[in-house]
Amino acid sequence: MNSYRAHRPTLRDDCGMQLQRAWQDGLWANIINMAKSKAKLSKDPYFEAAWQAVDKILDGKVVVKDPATADLYDWALVSTGMTSDQYPKYIGAMRVNVVKANPKAKEIAKTSFFSCVANADWEHAQQIAAVMDKSFPAERSFHFRNVITTYIYADFSSEPLPPRAIATQDEMLLWLNMVIKETKGNDLVKCLTDPNYNPLSALKDGFETICSTMMDQLKELGAWDEFYTICKAIFEKGVAFWLVEEHEAKEKAKRDAQPKEEKSVEQKAAELMAAMNRLNITSPEELLKARLAAESIATRTIVKDWKMWENFIMAASKQPKAQWALAEVEKFFTRITEFGPQHAIYRTQLDMAKLIIVFETPSETQEEIFTLAARVEGLRDYIDSHYRDMSCFDNLRRFFGLLSPDQAKNLVVRLPRLYSDSEESQFRRIMLQTFHLRLRYFFTTSSNCYTPSSTSRGATCGICLSDAVPERCDTCLKEIAKECIWIWKAGLKDKALLEQLKGEGVSPYTDLTIIGSVCLLKLAGLDGLWGRNDNSPLAWADRKRVMQAILWMDAQHHSQSIKRQDLSVLLVKLYVLIGAASHAKSIWDSLEVKNVTLNCLGPLFADRLGTMAPGLWQNHAHNSTPTSQYLYYYRSAINKNIPNSLRLSFDHGSYASILGNLVTKTKHKQSCTLVMALVDHYRGIRSVDGEVMQGTWQDELAQHIKPGMRLYDTTDYGPFPNIEANPDRPIQDFLSIGPGLSEDRAHLSLLSERFLSLIAYKEPKDYKPGNADLAKDRDRNVVIPACQDMAEWMATLLNGADIRDKLTLPEVEYYTMVQALASYVGLSLSASKGDGLDRLVESIRCQLVNQVTRLTERRKTASEADVTRVDVFHDVSALHANGMLRESVLVTVHMIRYLDRARGAEPKSPMPKWMMEHIRILREATRTANRRLKEYIERLSTTVNPAGWADRIAEWAFGDLANGTRAVSDDADETYENSDTDMLLYKAIGPKRNFTMAIDLIVHSWAEAARGWSKVKLID
Amino acid sequence: MATFRRFDPSDLDRISKCNLDPLTETYGLDFYLQYYAKWPSMFQVAEDDRGNIIGYIMGKLESSPEYFRNYEHYLPWHAHITALTVAPEARRMGIGRILSEKLEIAADNGDAWFMDLFVRKSNHRAIRFYESMGYSVFRVVKDYYGENVEDPSAGGEDAYDMRKPMKRDVKHEHIRENGREFEVDPEDVF
């Protein structure tokens, strides 16, 4: 594989100069002619067409021993579309024969081996590896290739594993992976704690990764007693190693260590002696011995690792004498932290560990009140010490969720005392104020902070004691929003503080903007239900609050000296939500999401783009769509990058990496992001072309995905601010057009694409079957079972209990309709009567009518005076819904055309009347839908283009303040009490702060969306 | 909070905290997998409690090709830091140092003479960071970077080739005190 697939294979020497030259120059017509004549003369299969020749070889059971022939056929067959299923039969077996015939030829064996690996033919890769192992007994790499391929092949075929010897950490990791895979429950615990090899033995070998992996497994198995015992031994040894190390590097330790209590000389000598006894050494110099040095490094490293600490606390808390065990653990941590470089993270780690111990210490051993006070006190102290850390809040989230309403209120009330002193620095004040508001928002979104009540809203907020809906106290949201704006507005004037914040690398004003804006969005009614009963989550939202939130975030986005990616990502989502896709794209592009990050971050922007922004697909012929780079990425990753990495892993003996590469390949081939990119890519193309030229289903990236196959959603929501208390309702859920990627949605979308490809397929123009009726019969024999199969799979998915949580309403309608269309095709082509099919046709018609109705109904419900404002917002936020309607029409029209082709022009068996009637009904429904879509597109173009939009949006956001009917107050008269949110925000981001720029960009983006839609081709 | 471990390819789906930072370049899959396949112990990550990667270091062990042996710029067996990045929210905690220390352990295990890296001459913060870790400038590589961040009109920007001796280099034969006075061209650098 070092040269495998990278170049054309080298031709055999006896090919002659002319053929060699033509081969080098890629003159395929010449090559074919010359090969033909040589085949005729020599009868040598080498010169025959590859597929034909290999078929002959298989039929005649000929054993190919010539490596050049194998190389050539491999190259030719893989290049002409041989699937991975065919490889073992056609090439894999041939590769084994070549290696067996040339057992001492290393390069031939290597090429053959990597060819099998690249094509996932583990059966023959293992056979070749076994031959190599036997032929070159002195070569460890061949030995381990045999081991790994045996393991991989055995893993796939569930056969027992052979025992093998192990030396390096990577070999050990491979062994450990096998053991973990093959052994379960108590047997695995026994294995991991075996006196002959356990985590302590791994450390003796200096294998920190092995030790860590074994400890992780013990944790996973819940073997807490074993974990505690081994961990204690590791920490005892760790302290001993550190003591000896400290002695050896006394001067360095003094320089690095924080000032601490000096111990007497005698005490230190005694400690050192005890440490040496623990390590079975007689002098510190013995640590220089390689093996002991490796153990020392590995042990000293692992006892400083946070994961080990966290699990050690957990194990101690599960001991019978938990309080005593936890105290012991804390002593270890305090001791360990004194050694080595004093990085800030270790101080944070120690404080965090102490806090966990406070929360984990069993309450029955203490006075309840004392425990509660200790918890709040511990949190307050931690915040006091670590408020500068950007991760301070995230570190403490786990504890906030454990507080009762009283404790939460206690903390909220007491926190301002940390910064209320007038002596406090401005920096400390703003950091703690921001923390306080974030904390209050967190509790507002936490169900723990509400107590049930008999009021109309059903609960009482534990913080402000108002009536509230659980996880949503409007009083708190309003107060938090106002306070955020107040502090943010004041901060704009303090240039010295802004400079200091920049120097410290923190941006509390961005946090204030995010918290305040999210409060406004929640007050606007965005609640994470994705417009389950409408076109968009914005359908019934208070647009004033939505626009205020967007304009505020935009103002901070442009003013911030430290670029915060969480704010950028929020803005991208919001701009997509209001239909300003091109503006969202410009912000998204500035984040430079590309290459490997497409798989995990791409969906944050590109999901559903193909339905809502046809303008971005205008240049699809030049491979310049938002999804082109995804497809390029996946093709390279699957066909080139991962096979290359597999080869490198084998070459370098990185056995654990081989397994990692295989997992990576599977996750790429079965990625939900890949499906999203494929489907949106072809949907976008269809929106501008109208016709189905080449569909998702013809793409090699989709062909291997079968219904029911496991698909992987690897979307990374890490870039979003983590401010919500309820992990099941994160912030991105209520700022998106619809739910994120899921296996079910991916399968539904692929099945729909498959249906479309099937019914829209047209034979090439030069295809003239001798017997047209027979050809049609054959076609029907393929289409009918395929449609029935698809309909069945789609029905299963659509009947899933939580399917409505995974789709937008327009998607539910579209997939339901496609399922009905597939059923109809499957049934109608084999039916003699149409009686049972009327219901299906009616359901398809209803789905179309429902979509069309929602497209227009809002115009009827809005008051006359408000109609323009409501309509435009309604129209731009419903782009996705209209995109799905366009797809619904398109697939229905293609089905009608297919029925026409399949049953239309048959003199012997003309289309039955009932089918003609069904087609008439559906045709009328699609034409009505197209008319409405055309009206929608025209309305979009005429309403978003006229001048004066900037004023209108300003008025949406700030009402009478923007149109001048309410006077803007003077700053000098302003107090927190006498001001309101609208006034504060208008003065902070209003015309004087140039918010018209943001508004202009929104209007420009809407105009672009309208232009894109005006080029959409609707087919009848 | 952060825990440290070897890189796994699934980490590429959780590197946004690092790679959305404009100072961190995002490469193709082959780039990361090459290090994972060839030098797995020299690709280390720091992971937070939510599974986000908040820092990573990529390194390798190599020497100049054998046919360079008599060339004045021949590089003996050494370790190289290819990339070191820490997410903005995790900076100032010592995570970069811990990752570098882990790479140095791997370099010593691999019997390297020294660890080296390239850094923009204008990146004073990074230079101070590496100097505090025991690195020193070994030579200046003229116009190593295509773009000059401080002067866009300039043809390129110089790089400092910085080195730190590893345990094998007991006599410190592979570092020099006056490295800033030695200039080489990019083509001299392996």
Confidence of residue A860 (pLDDT cuts 50, 70, 90): very low
pLDDT by residue (tens digit) across A375-391?
899 999 999 999 999 99
Q: What is the spatial distance between Cα A484 and Cα A521, in angstroms, rounded to a whole number?
A: 14
Across the range A223-234, mean pLDDT stands at 97
Q: For residue A690, count CB atoms less than 10 angstroms from its CB and return exposed for 0-12, middle for 13-18, buried for 19 or more.
A: middle
Nearest to B26 among A212, A595, A641 (CB): A595
**A341 interfaces chain B, CB cutoff of 8 Å:** yes
Task: Mark out the alpha helices in A318-404 (DSSP H runs).
Answer: 322-338, 344-360, 368-386, 392-400
Would you call A600 and B16 a contact, using CB atoms and an 8 Å cutoff?
Answer: yes
In angstroms, the Cα distances linking A628 to A594, A606, A684, B66 are 11, 11, 11, 42
Cβ proximity of A825 and A787 under 8 Å: yes
Mean pLDDT, chain A, whole residue set? 86
Q: Which of residues 270-299 of A touch B (CB under 8 A)?
A: 294, 297
A548: closest CA among A917, A201, A947, A984? A984
Cβ proximity of A73 and A119 under 8 Å: no
Q: What is the pLDDT of residue A47?
A: 67
Q: What is the pLDDT of residue A513?
A: 97
Closest Cα in chain A, distance from residue B95 (Å):
7
**B17 interfaces chain A, CB cutoff of 8 Å:** yes
Across the range B38-57, mean pLDDT stands at 96
Instruction: Tell me the domains of chain A and their CATH numbers.
Output: 13-164 (1.25.40), 166-365 (no CATH), 386-465 (no CATH), 593-741 (no CATH)
* A343 neighbourhood in chain B, CB within 8 Å: 93-95, 97-98
Q: What is the spatial distance between Cα A966 and Cα B151, in angstroms, rounded to a whole number?
A: 50
Across the range B15-42, mean pLDDT stands at 95
Q: What is the pLDDT of residue A557?
A: 93
Instruction: Pick the more confident residue, A22 or A983.
Output: A983
In angstroms, the Cα distances linking A472 to A122, A183, A450, A475, A748 are 56, 48, 9, 9, 34
A982: closest CA among A555, A574, A548? A548
Q: What is the pLDDT of residue A164?
A: 45
pLDDT by residue (tens digit) across A495-504?
899 999 988 8
Mutate to test the interface with A, among B29, B35, B41 (most CBs of A within 10 A): B29
Across the range A693-704, mean pLDDT stands at 79
H or E segment at A512?
Answer: helix A508-523
Instruction: Pick the more confident residue, A163 or B68.
Output: B68
Closest Cα in chain B, distance from residue A244 (Å):
18
Is residue A274 pLDDT above 70, yes or no?
Answer: yes
Is residue A422 pLDDT above 80, yes or no?
Answer: no
pLDDT by residue (tens digit) across A814-836?
999 999 999 999 999 887 787 78
* Structure token pair of residue A710: 């496991």
A577: closest CA among A939, A1006, A929, A955? A1006
Q: What is the spatial distance between Cα A373 and Cα A404, in angstroms, rounded to a whole number?
A: 12
Residue with the two structure tokens 């949106």: A680
What stretches of A419-545 adopt beta strand conformation (E)?
Answer: 450-452, 459-461, 467-468
* B8 neighbourhood in chain A, CB within 8 Å: 660
Would you call A343 and B102 a contact, using CB atoms and an 8 Å cutoff?
Answer: no
Q: For residue B180, count CB atoms less than 10 angstroms from its CB and return exposed for 0-12, middle for 13-18, buried for 19 or more.
A: middle
Where residue B3 falls (left for φ over 0; alpha for ψ -120 to 50; beta otherwise) is beta
Q: What is the spatial distance between Cα A829 and Cα A886, in angstroms, rounded to a whole number?
A: 26
CATH class of B3-188: alpha beta
Confidence of residue A143 (pLDDT cuts 50, 70, 90): confident
Is residue A58 pLDDT above 60, yes or no?
Answer: yes
Cβ proximity of A939 and A878 under 8 Å: no
Instruction: Pick the more confident residue, A751 or B190.
Output: A751
**B102 interfaces chain A, CB cutoff of 8 Å:** yes
- Compare all CA atoms of chain B with the CA of A714 and give the residue at the minimum distance: B13
How many Cβ atoms are within 10 Å of A49's Cβ, its own excluded? Answer: 14
pLDDT by residue (tens digit) across A509-557?
999 999 999 999 999 988 755 556 677 888 778 888 999 999 999 999 9
Confidence of residue A162 (pLDDT cuts 50, 70, 90): very low
H or E segment at A855?
Answer: helix A838-861
Q: What is the pLDDT of residue A455?
A: 78
Q: What is the pLDDT of residue A102?
A: 92
Q: What is the pLDDT of residue A275?
A: 76
Q: What is the spatial distance between Cα A137 and Cα A143, in angstroms, rounded to a whole number?
A: 7
pTM: 0.86
- Which of the residue ranges A80-84, A107-111, A639-643, A851-855 has the most confident prediction, judged by mean pLDDT? A639-643
Ranking A157-171, A451-465, A777-791 by mean pLDDT, the lowest is A157-171
A122: closest CA among A89, A93, A150? A150
In angstroms, the Cα distances linking A923 to A690, A855, A885, A917, A926 are 16, 19, 15, 10, 5
Rg (CA), chain B: 17
Across the range A734-745, mean pLDDT stands at 94
The ipTM assigned to this model is 0.94
Nearest to B9 among A562, A652, A664 (CB): A664
Across the range A87-101, mean pLDDT stands at 90
H or E segment at B183?
Answer: strand B183-184
Q: What is the pLDDT of residue B101?
A: 95
B108 Cβ contact partners less than 8 Å away, ≥ 6 residues apart: B166, B167, B168
Q: For residue A52, count CB atoms less than 10 angstroms from its CB and return exposed for 0-12, middle for 13-18, buried for 19 or more.
A: exposed
pLDDT by residue (tens digit) across A876-890?
888 999 999 999 999
Would you call B93 and A657 a contact, using CB atoms and an 8 Å cutoff?
Answer: no
Q: What is the pLDDT of residue B88?
A: 92
Q: Which of residues 629-648 of A touch B (CB under 8 A)?
A: 633, 636-637, 640-642, 644-646, 648
Counts for chain A of helices (H) and strands (E), in that order? 47, 3
A212: closest CA among B41, B59, B82? B41
Q: What is the pLDDT of residue A864?
A: 36
**Among residues of chain A, what percentage have pLDDT more than 90?**
52
Q: For residue A265, count CB atoms less than 10 angstroms from its CB and return exposed for 0-12, middle for 13-18, buried for 19 or more.
A: exposed
Q: What is the pLDDT of residue A19?
A: 78
* Structure token pair of residue A724: 């919500």
In angstroms, the Cα distances linking A66 to A12, A132, A566 are 10, 17, 59
User: Reduced to 3 states, what is the DSSP secondary structure of residue A1?
Assistant: coil
Across the range A438-442, mean pLDDT stands at 97
* Structure token pair of residue A443: 């509790």
Q: What is the spatial distance between Cα A778 and Cα A764, in angstroms, rounded to a whole number?
A: 16
pLDDT by residue (tens digit) across A759-816?
998 877 788 877 877 888 888 889 999 999 999 999 999 999 899 999 999 999 999 9
Is residue A282 pLDDT above 50, yes or no?
Answer: yes
User: How far is the first Cα of chain A from the last one, in angstroms, to the nearest whole number?
Assistant: 51
Count chain A–chain B contacts defined by CB atoms under 8 A: 161
Beta-sheet pairing, B3-6 with B43-47: antiparallel
pLDDT by residue (tens digit) across A582-626?
999 999 999 999 999 999 999 999 999 999 999 999 887 777 889
Q: What is the spatial distance between Cα A204 and Cα A192, in angstroms, rounded to a whole number?
A: 15
Confidence of residue A161 (pLDDT cuts 50, 70, 90): very low
Q: What is the pLDDT of residue A971?
A: 77
Is residue A3 pLDDT above 50, yes or no?
Answer: no
Phi, psi of A173 (to 5 degrees): -65, -40
